[in-house]
A and B are shown apart, each in its own frame.
Chain A
């Protein structure tokens, strides 16, 4: 479904991605862990072309999205993205946040978009918050609106960039529940997270990234309990506390 081949990205002297390879199958849930600054977010942003890689290729299905003929807007409709800081549009209600992409990108008429957006918000358990504005919602609720907003576009895959890192502990589980439910429904997901519980429950593969490279990958149990590489060992022991 998603293939990343030898992707490089630099900012000036800073070599953020140094030839990353990654393959995610249809319906697979992959978790990515690694210290901050290791290039996880940059890699995620390359997959929906928010950042264009300097070198290397990325495929979604059979389409080489790094080809210059591909419109970035098209790529972004195929891959949904959820951010660490929710990034809801603060001037729009929950419903309008979800409707914006439907009416403007998918060109749905507003009645149809309203119905679809309502349904997607119900899916994340927010059917009673349609008219609430982001500032009136808790962090967990905001992040669920953000998930609904991405889901509404019917993407082939979803990218999550530390979706629970900005949340108060009491709200983390409600977001993870929604993500687990998505995983069970067969959504292809690439999740940057340090939530070990979620990785163990939902992911079939965990990759460890450090200094712009994928250092190690394996099943959650392999990575968390029997890491092979020293750097993985050091990092895992740190997040396990």
Chain B
């Protein structure tokens, strides 16, 4: 019984350590700089206990659930050897995890407001909703494409920097031609596409693939899927802004 207890208390301590900087920063600015008392200290403390327990459980689950699952899938696909099935899986994973992402829904709605303010979209709810929906689909397609491309890169061993730098150059060039009001939205959409559950799964998939394929190195080839998932939404959204 002692082993699990020790492991759990170590994880709890780790979670406290991970959260200590936020608590210190907020307390410092609240007490020293703004010189205000904490509102509802009781509920803040309850919340902090939840955060610590939640982070502890999450990391526990990463190591027993998400990482092994990502690796198991990677090994199964590598053994099966069907490139088409693997690429289809990558696309579905990227598209499916992005399309329902709450952060993306929020940013798409805001972007629709900006666009109707700028007169790109008609100033009524139906037009705004349609714009926001299209934007979400565009970003989800972009992430699906990104994972497909990223998996293909791992299979072929292409150097990542050529693709990513090429993508950045494309973004730079498109920024010059895209309407101003879409630029901020496009840049931000790169960051929202990667959720807390997708990242560990996709990372484990990439590293697992690179580990099980001959001639691939987990550090050189395994990472990078997230980078693609951040880049392609910018390109796709800028493109969407130029077309609409």
A pairs with B: no
> A-contacting residues of B (Cβ < 8 Å)?
none
> B-contacting residues of A (Cβ < 8 Å)?
none
